[in-house]
Chains A and B, each alone.
Chain A
Amino acid sequence: MTRNTTTIEHHLTPALLMAYSAGALPEAFSLVAATHISMCDHCRAELETYDTVGGAILDTVESDTETPDFAKTMARIARADAARNAPPTRLADDVLPAPLASYVGGSLDNVKWRKVGGGVKQAILSTDRDASARLLYIPAGTAVPDHGHRGIELTLVLQGAFRDEDGRFARGDLEVADESVDHTPVADEGEDCICLAATDAPLRFSGMLPRLAQPFFQI
């Protein structure tokens, strides 16, 4: 993985990390969290800290049910041993960390892009319906339509960089935008920008042309 984890400046919020640890995020948000943490040891340490809270809860949970069946568990282990083949091949390439690679058939080359106008392309990923996730391809120097949104939008940079009202975001950086943010991300010159974006509500665009383009975004 081409990653110097110390250069990441924009991180998951503590609330998102705790929700991810507790298993409360929709799949699309979990995908963004898992992909960011694959690149960011700062957030990995935060996550594992919240996991420790989960461990403390598990250790003190009151149990008034029947103890699980030990013999059946051993039988389960024996069956799994017998069925065990070669370990699954690890998916990941230089741009896509493993959790994301497994959503697009293993590598960036397999992504099925659709044009959405202005040179921008996207690919919707298949997740549960509580939130949606997509890959965005923004040519160098191009602006993504100005948009506000309901709910939360997470944007994780995988290649290149973009700039908006909140600063500059490069590989590994995550922008967490809530309803108060109306932003116009512009990709840096020099390299096309690829992002993973997830939202738990439909975007609404403020310009005329983008509104026409919205059906193509399929969200």
Chain B
Amino acid sequence: MLRDVSTLDSQLPTEERAVRRVAPVQVRAPERHVMTPPTGDAADWVALVQKLRDTRDEAAFRALFDHFAPRVKAYLMKSGADASMAEECAQDVMATLWHKAHQFDPTRASVATWVYTIARNRRIDMLRKQRRPEPEELAWGPEAEPEPDEVVGLQQESLKLGRAMAALPEKQRELIQKAYFGELSHSEIAAETGLPLGTIKSRIRLALERLRHAMT
């Protein structure tokens, strides 16, 4: 398992590493923002969530926060929340990320996907004042964790899907966005996205089979 996040450190400028080791109290200083991994490098987000899970590392959380918190807030506002409600909710979503880091399964979801599901559930609680029934959780126990190459494979497929999404014709992309921002009713939603979903689905299915096997 990718519990070893030393690779993260090696990506930082030497100076920055020194600062972190010598004076960890400075983690809130603004210059720490150079820690933010390059946008779209999904593997780095996975390492940060695992670091958060294993050591409650506030700097790792800050890097995740800087990337995802504004996006969650924007998603909530596009879904009909006003600014103050979206602010409250985004804070709550990020706090959930902190508390549920152990539930994240990188063989089945990118960090963006995981954050999306938390934000969506919170949006339903908040805007529709109803709870969202969720499937039973399936999680890797401490004794059996997923293989690193499966993690990398899934993360790469998620990136590919993001790129395919960006390459869609404008109208098609807008229609999918409308569905996910809650602008379409369930009877208006057609699942034909024009996206190549087959490969990522096969990977998730395989990950579920391995997980079921590990659980029995």
Contact = CB atoms under 8 A, between A and B. Distances in A.
A joins B in a complex:
yes
Contacts of B47: none
Interface string A5-40: 100000001111111011111110111011101100
A52 B113 contact: yes
Interface residues of B, number: 77
A14 B75 CA distance: 23
Interface string B133-158: 11110100000000000000000001
Interface string B64-77: 01101111111101
A56 B204 contact: no
Interface in A37-84: 37-38, 41-42, 44-70, 72-74, 76-77, 80
Contacts of B86: 65
A24 B113 contact: no
Nearest to B123: A23
A1 interface: yes
Contacts, number: 207
Nearest to B190: A15
Contact-size category for A? 35 or more
A154 to B, nearest CB: 11
Contact of B70 (A21, A24, A65): A65
A68 B69 contact: yes
A92 interface: yes
Contact of A41 (B109, B121, B209): B209
A51 B117 CA distance: 7
Nearest to A103: B133
A30 B121 CA distance: 12
B53 interface: no
A98 interface: yes
Q: In the complex, which of the residues B70, B134, B135, B200 has the most CB atoms of chain A within 10 Å of its own CB atom?
A: B135
Contacts of A98: 136
Nearest to A25: B186
Q: In the complex, which of the residues B119, B123, B204 has the most CB atoms of chain A within 10 Å of its own CB atom?
A: B204
Given A44-B135, A44-B208, A55-B109, A68 B91 contact: yes
Interface of A: 1, 5, 13-19, 21-27, 29-31, 33-35, 37-38, 41-42, 44-70, 72-74, 76-77, 80, 92, 97-100, 102-103, 127-128, 152
Given A53-B193, A58-B115, 8 more contacts: A41-B209, A44-B135, A52-B200, A54-B180, A58-B68, A66-B83, A73-B94, A100-B133
